[in-house]
């Protein structure tokens, strides 16, 4: 076994230089997955035969190429896809559901097609909670995924299998999706980079173009600023680039102690300046959790009604919390759902106006994630049976979505948010809409300051 310890750009370069063949990297990924997965349960399905065949074809084609720099950017690099909402034709995709355990993709989603077009070789799919409805990763279908940083802890979620696969070096890169912190939470718990791009910046379809009312963004968990930057450029080429080298960053005074080590790295006159801002009510609003879980319940009901038309659903084949969302979602009137979407839009404008009125380029917060120990039980039907939507939203906020409380607002507003490791902890950066490149450029400066402080050894090294 030889885990991948450098980022995906490194391995793409080495293939071009002839240091590795594609088949060598594919076999290395297969060995890593087969050796490590019994411990971590990060990978739930594999397509090794297809990957080996594709690698042979790629290696043969390499012999005919005059200039390897003309190859797709990630030619021959192994990757794992999240087993939720990222369909590939004729390949398994369960969404973590027992009733989908034998399902295969009917089409290839545009995001997945872009991955193939860039030369990646898909090795399989990573573990998720059922329909992504938890901020940790455990399901009746696949069991629990453990953290690649500390196997006594849960991986985080819902992109937990992806985070663990990357953290343990099974492959150099993984995909994720983020509807309420699902990229950022496992990134924070396992010391990785996790970007939730601006709403609408990453291609959707053809099956759906409004996943969770566009609260969901598909992207990657990564290991470095340069990797995040390149992937963002390739997958969202329409976003404005950033040439700035100086940044004004706001932070909440209530976070001053947690962020002291970050701020201390940037002396007076440096390219990054910090100022305390009054954004507590904007970033951590009271009462919006109900609007968030109301959306989840309605969208879950829509999904399950479609499945129910061909496969009878019940508590026999759905997890209790999923079944409860289904029940409650069918009870939400259309006018109230529309009103909730209006609240989302109003909060979007309020946050956008805050950046302008304060004159800041970004906001920094501690990630505030609480690592969950392995073995926590899933909710039972007795736990949730009698709950109203309000009570269930509160219960989920305190239990299944406890860590999402610090993240879901940015899914509602569509602002870009990036979690990066810093020292022994992680921080979250938030920028105005469509300023994703500015966010990554700022993160690159924090990454440099962190390395100079010698407190954190990035995964790519």
Let me know if 419 is exposed, middle or buried by CB neighbors in 10 A (0-12, 13-18, 19+). Answer: buried
DSSP per position, 355-420: HHHHT-SEEEEE----PPBTTPPPPPHHHHTT--HHHHHHHHHHTTTTGGGGTHHHHHH---EEEE
Give per-residue pLDDT as tens, 197-250: 999 999 999 998 889 999 999 999 999 999 999 999 999 999 999 988 899 999
Sorting pLDDT into bands at 50, 70 and 90, what band is 267?
confident
CA-nearest of 18, 184, 182 to 86 is 182
Quick check: 453 pLDDT over 70? no
d(CA 257, CA 85): 39
**Is 107 within 8 Å of 207 (Cβ atoms)?**
yes
CATH of domain 8-244+439-453: 3.90.1300.10
Mean of pLDDT values over 388-400: 95
β-bridge partners, 80? 124, 174
| pLDDT value of residue 406 | 86
d(CA 122, CA 46): 9
Give per-residue pLDDT as tens, 16-41: 999 999 999 999 999 999 999 999 99
Give the tokens for residue 158: 């819902």
Give per-residue pLDDT as tens, 398-428: 999 999 988 999 999 999 999 999 988 999 9
Helix 334-358 vs helix 288-308: crossing angle, to nearest 10? 130
**Is 59 within 8 Å of 22 (Cβ atoms)?**
yes
Domain boundaries, the chain: 8-244+439-453
CA-nearest of 126, 142, 124 to 221 is 126
| pLDDT value of residue 295 | 97
| pLDDT value of residue 450 | 78
d(CA 262, CA 278): 19
Please state, rounded to an integer, the average pLDDT across all residues of the chain.
95
Q: How far is CA 194 from the centre of its chain?
A: 6
CA dihedral 345, 346, 347, 352 (to 10 degrees): 90
Out of 75-79, 213-217, 263-267, 356-360, pick the least confident. 263-267
Give per-residue pLDDT as tens, 101-117: 999 999 999 999 999 99
> Between vectors from CA 195 to CA 15 and to CA 294, what angle results, nearest 5°?
140
419 phi, psi to nearest 5 deg: -100, 130
Mean of pLDDT values over 272-291: 93
Give per-residue pLDDT as tens, 72-88: 999 999 999 999 999 99
β-bridge partners, 273? 248
């Amino acid at each position: 076994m030889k885990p991948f310890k450098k980022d995906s750009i490194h391995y793409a370069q080495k293939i071009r230089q002839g240091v590795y063949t594609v088949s060598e990297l594919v076999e290395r990924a297969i060995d890593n997955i087969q050796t490590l997965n019994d411990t971590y349960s990060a990978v739930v399905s594999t397509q090794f035969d297809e990957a080996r065949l594709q690698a042979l074809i790629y290696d043969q084609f390499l012999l005919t190429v005059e200039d390897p720099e003309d190859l797709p950017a990630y030619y021959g690099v192994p990757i794992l896809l999240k087993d939720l909402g990222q369909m590939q034709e004729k390949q398994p995709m369960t969404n973590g559901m027992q009733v989908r355990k034998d399902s295969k993709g009917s089409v290839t989603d545009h995001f997945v097609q872009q991955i193939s077009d860039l030369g990646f070789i898909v090795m399989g799919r990573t573990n998720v909670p059922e329909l992504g409805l938890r901020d940790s990763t455990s399901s009746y279908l696949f069991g629990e995924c453990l953290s690649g940083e500390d196997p006594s802890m849960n991986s985080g979620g819902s992109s937990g299998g992806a985070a663990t696969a990357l953290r343990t070096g099974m492959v150099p890169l993984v995909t994720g999706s983020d509807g309420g912190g699902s990229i950022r939470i496992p990134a924070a718990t396992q010391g990785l980079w996790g970007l939730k791009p601006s709403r609408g910046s990453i291609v959707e379809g053809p099956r759906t173009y409004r996943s969770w009312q566009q609260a969901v963004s598909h992207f990657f968990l990564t290991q470095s600023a340069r990797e995040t930057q390149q992937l963002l450029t390739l997958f969202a080429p329409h976003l404005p680039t950033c040439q700035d080298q100086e940044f004004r960053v706001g932070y909440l005074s209530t976070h001053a102690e947690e962020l002291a080590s970050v701020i201390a790295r940037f002396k007076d006159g440096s390219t990054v300046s910090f100022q305390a801002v009054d954004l507590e009510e904007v970033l951590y609003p009271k009462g919006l959790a109900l609007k968030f879980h109301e959306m989840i319940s309605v969208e879950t009901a829509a999904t399950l009604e479609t499945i129910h038309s061909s496969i009878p659903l019940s508590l026999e084949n759905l997890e209790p919390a999923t079944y409860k969302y289904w029940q409650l979602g069918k009870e939400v009137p259309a006018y109230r759902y529309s009103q909730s979407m209006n609240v989302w839009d109003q909060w979007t404008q309020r946050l956008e106006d805050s950046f302008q009125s304060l004159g800041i380029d970004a906001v920094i917060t501690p990630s505030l994630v609480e690592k969950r120990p392995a073995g926590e039980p899933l909710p039972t039907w007795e736990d949730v049976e009698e709950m109203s939507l309000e009570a269930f939203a509160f219960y989920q906020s305190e239990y299944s979505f406890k860590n999402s409380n610090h993240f879901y607002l940015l899914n509602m507003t569509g602002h870009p948010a990036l979690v990066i490791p810093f020292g022994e902890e992680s921080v979250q950066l938030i920028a105005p809409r469509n300023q994703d490149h500015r966010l990554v450029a700022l993160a690159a400066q924090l990454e440099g300051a962190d390395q100079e402080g010698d407190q954190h050894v990035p995964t790519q090294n």
